[in-house]
Chain A
Amino acid sequence: MTTEPLLRATGLTKAYGATPALSGADFALRAGEVVAVMGPSGSGKSTLLHCLAGIVRPDAGTLAYDGRDLTALSDTARSALRRTDFGFVFQFGQLVPELSCAENVALPLRLNGEKRKAAEARAVEWLARLEVDDTADKRPGEISGGQGQRVAVARALVTAPRVIFADEPTGALDSLNGERVMRLLTEASRDTGAAVVLVTHEARVAAWSDREVVVRDGSVRDTEWAA
């Protein structure tokens, strides 16, 4: 592989109080690539994802996205970047319970200033693509966990992001539903050309990725970009 990475992190360190979460992590992601970040519980996978997505500012290290230094951006600029270029899928608790599923999916579009009707029309298209169009008018509390995760994937993809960050997206699902969510996530991201950073501790989930990196004690072993 010789293509320049879309997202590159070098020597990231991050500590929560006295507890180190990352200690010199290196990572790179090419456009359209699906990378699984693996490692045991507490190894720093989620912290790496949060740093890569600009949610958390690392204590040290460099982080470049599309040629821009993410660590130098203001909070507002990073928020704007997350709205336009990134999408997110978490394990649970990410859908706004009082909004309908269609409204949940339309939310990022509306935050980007799109009109409600147009946003919700696109949201419904994405719900159909992820095979949950029957949930459009339902609230998250009225659908199953698997359907909820597919709605979350739809929400992550609706803005046509360049990178999707998925943190244990199947962690709360049974294997059948987990497989289905992963299939839809990877297919849709490949269709749209979005890269995916997939945090998981399950090998069968990681199997959907193009390559794997392992986080252990806050350090990342990314064999492809090492050296």
Chain B
Amino acid sequence: MTPSTWGRDLTLGARFALTGGRSGLLRTLLTAAGVGFGVALLLLASSLPSMLFQREVREAARAADAAHEIEAPRPDTFLHYTQHSSYRGTALSGLLLKPEGPKAPTPPGTAGMPAEGEMLVSPALGRLLDSPDGALLKERLPYEVAGTIGEAGLIGPNELRYVAHAGFLTTDNYDGRAERYGWSVPEEPMNAFLLLLVVIAYVVLLLPVLVFIATAARFGGEQRDRRLAALRLVGADNGTTRRIAAGESLAGALLGLVVGAGLFLVSRQFAGAVEIWDVNAFPSDVVPHAALALLVLAVVPVASVVVTLFALRGVAIEPLGVVRAATPRRRRLWWRVLILAAGAALLAPTVGGIRMEDTAIDTVAIGGGTVLVLVGLTGLLPWLVEAVVKRLRGGPVSWQLAVRRLQLSSGTAARAVSGIVVAAAGAIALQMLFQAMERDFTSLTGHDTTRAQLQTSLDARDGDEARRTIDRLASVDGVTRVIGTTDAHVFRPGPLREGEDFAPITQLSVGDCASLREYAVLPSCADGDVFVALPPKGATDAPDATWIEQTARPGAEVALRDPDRRGTVPTWRIPADARKVEARRDPAGLHRYGLLATTGSLDVRQLDDPSAEVMVRFDPASPDAPELVRNAALAIDPTATVRGLSDTEQSSRFLSVRTGILVGSTLTMLLVAASLLVATLEQLRDRKRLLSSLVAFGTRRTTLSWSVLWQTAVPIGVGLALAVAGGIGLGSVLLAMTGQRVQDWWVFLPVVGVGAGLIAAVTLLSLPLLWRLMRADGLRTE
């Protein structure tokens, strides 16, 4: 067999695909559409790394270069301060700048430095500020909008971002001094659990696409076989017809690549409109990974040829028609189990080996193992469907027709359903993993949102100002409770002792009894009381308690400012009746150790460099209360950071992942349903004459409709059962890797629900054609 013979036959097949009449062209277009959809998905998925990388690049390019410290102002330097905040749940970031000379560089994406008190905004922020929805945000940003930030200064088209010229920036409240932009702090590496989730998600969502492409390459196979029989009649040998068939598929696949590239180019234009997990991208950043794209370009056409040749194995194309082996070859179980076992063997060593704090996982073993398990399940399906339908007996006529059809040839249905197995099993495993992680991540935050939902820390010139800050935030509309203390540090007075580099230090928090109770377990509390909060037994995050005890001793005197600093050091004597208490986690999940003093016990005006530590709780009926608090905090200090304590942020992120998984697996299952529908319609069209003759002797429409339903339901049912078993098994292994336990055994129900919906959808969509084919026209031969 020479390459030129191959080339000639493949070309001939390709020509048939395009010029083989209406049905041939329809089949080619169908294949192209299916392959194109799959290719577009693959190209989009292969663009994800570049999309995320480009975000990092953009982030790095716009960050002020802090690689080296610049001691003194120069004509080309500027002070900078980065603000991260949120507005009604959407992330908001800002860069405050203060040029120190005329040569200070302009930030990326801007034409020039805004004038003092002005800001440049991203288009999305501009739109928000111009709309009634942005009224509260407008209050928070006390700068005039002077222009727009271009693409070079943004990480995504929907980003809420501002660059403001802040005259109040000083070396006391800045992040740093810089002379240029373009530097990045390395991103915090992805947590191992999230990495695991991402790897599995990739495998689970993309594998069915490959299965779908393989199925699409076989669309219209039965009609094609008849065409090939005609070729045999005019002298083509068996090998030639197979190569011609492969050429037909190849044409569809190549056309599919073009369609896929087109779909990809169109869909990337909408990259900015889609936002997943607060991430969206500029179309120019959605670029497929070159190696992955080349792989897709190479694999898809080759796969179409291989799949076609593989499909024709059990088919003898004879000059007078197509003969399928009367009894299909018995499917072997051993190699299917072997793939599953290989997958399990790859996954087994990783069991118990992944910890939350890890930043890398064995991607090859986990990804490869998961792929093998899912492929093994897919391989197991035709065997299982065959084994199940072989045992099915009895039942009404509709059942008998469907079962016998499946007994004769369950391969087509099983192949179409195999994508469902991968998608459903993967989705179940992902959901199990996700649920366990959700619990973990929520508890990890340690936030107690029943006690407070927002936290801020504002520097004050003195204790009075700190007190006023607390009162100001307490008076914001919608705030129902405030935990507020004036915090500072106290030192052991006197000279340093031998071996000491600095004086022992501990924290001092001054507040009312209600606020202090949030920091420690107080047996009783009255104004004037003082407590020494010590680490609870078994606390792992406690500092050296000896320092606390050296400084905060009842009856001892403490310095209210660093004794090393020049000037008079104010002191305060801790009351001798100060009680030692056990610290408790505050609403932010942290312990505060040291001195807890009620307001009557200490004059806060004496404190040096105090800060107001405020945590607030809101009235659920005031959804804008968090924004009002942020506004108030930023009005007091434009560089203030206000942190949401709510674990709902974490939960909502996971909620979006969960929704994403379900949507992703549903979309994949829809793909599978599409191929199943095509297979069913093709089979019905093929049986036009038979259906008409069945109707002629009085077969009811309902009987044949039920038959179609059973024919769809049996393989999908078997597939879902396999997917549930396989998914739960895989999920359990993945959980075991991270030392987790199954949270919810019923996690498969939504997936099964989607599967049931698909059965109904495929049947319903088949019915119009079925009923059309049941007309007497099918009996006409002339």
User: Which residues on A are within 8 Å of B, measured CB to CB?
Assistant: 16, 41-42, 46-47, 50, 53, 55-56, 76, 79-84, 86-88, 90-99, 103, 107-108, 110-111, 116, 139, 141-142, 155-156, 165, 167-168
A46 to chain B minimum Cβ distance, whole angstroms, is 6
Bound-complex Cα distance A87 to B776 (A): 15
Cβ A88 vs Cβ B690 within 8 A: no
Chain B window 400-411, contacts with chain A (Cβ cutoff 8 Å), 1 for yes, 0 for no: 110011011100
Bound-complex Cα distance A112 to B777 (A): 24
Cβ B781 vs Cβ A79 within 8 A: no
Cβ A46 vs Cβ B781 within 8 A: yes
Inter-chain contacts of B401 with A (CB < 8 A): 96, 98-99
Cβ B326 vs Cβ A56 within 8 A: no
Can you list the 6 inter-chain pairs with the closest CB atoms, starting with the nearest? A83-B698, A82-B698, A93-B689, A98-B404, A94-B693, A98-B408
Bound-complex Cα distance A82 to B774 (A): 15
Select B696's contact among A16, A82, A98, beta carbons within 8 Å.
A82
Cβ A139 vs Cβ B697 within 8 A: no
A173 to chain B minimum Cβ distance, whole angstroms, is 15
Majority secondary structure, B binding face: helix
Please judge, given known A-B contacts A55-B776, A93-B690, A96-B404, whether A80 and B698 are in contact too, CB under 8 Å: yes
Inter-chain contacts of B409 with A (CB < 8 A): 98
Inter-chain contacts of B400 with A (CB < 8 A): 99, 103, 110, 116
Inter-chain contacts of A165 with B (CB < 8 A): 696
Select B404's contact among A83, A86, A94, A99, beta carbons within 8 Å.
A99
- Enumerate B103-151 residues with CB–CB distance to A below 8 Å: none
**Total A-B pairs, Cβ < 8 A:** 89
With A86-B698, A98-B405, A98-B407 given, can you name 8 additional A-B contacts, CB distance below 8 Å?
A55-B779, A87-B697, A88-B696, A93-B689, A96-B404, A98-B401, A98-B409, A139-B326
B46 to chain A minimum Cβ distance, whole angstroms, is 43
Q: Does residue B694 face the partner (Cβ distance < 8 Å to A)?
A: yes
A35 to chain B minimum Cβ distance, whole angstroms, is 19
Cβ contacts A to B, 28 pairs, < 8 Å: A42-B782, A50-B779, A53-B696, A55-B695, A76-B700, A79-B698, A79-B700, A81-B698, A82-B697, A83-B698, A84-B698, A88-B693, A90-B779, A96-B690, A98-B405, A98-B408, A99-B400, A99-B401, A99-B404, A107-B397, A108-B698, A111-B697, A111-B698, A116-B400, A139-B326, A142-B326, A155-B697, A168-B781
Please judge, given known A-B contacts A79-B698, A93-B690, whether A111 and B397 are in contact too, CB under 8 Å: yes
User: Which residues on B are within 8 Å of A, measured CB to CB?
Assistant: 326, 394, 396-397, 400-401, 404-405, 407-409, 689-690, 693-700, 703, 776-777, 779-782
Most buried by B among A84, A108, A168: A108
Bound-complex Cα distance A69 to B593 (A): 100
A150 to chain B minimum Cβ distance, whole angstroms, is 16
Cβ B782 vs Cβ A110 within 8 A: no
Inter-chain contacts of B394 with A (CB < 8 A): 116
Inter-chain contacts of B690 with A (CB < 8 A): 93-97
Bound-complex Cα distance A139 to B643 (A): 74
Cβ A50 vs Cβ B776 within 8 A: yes
Most buried by A among B693, B698, B699, B779: B698
Bound-complex Cα distance A116 to B404 (A): 14
Bound-complex Cα distance A218 to B182 (A): 88
Inter-chain contacts of B780 with A (CB < 8 A): 46-47
Cβ A93 vs Cβ B693 within 8 A: yes
Cβ B326 vs Cβ A141 within 8 A: yes
Inter-chain contacts of B405 with A (CB < 8 A): 98
Cβ B404 vs Cβ A108 within 8 A: no
A91 to chain B minimum Cβ distance, whole angstroms, is 6
Inter-chain contacts of B703 with A (CB < 8 A): 111
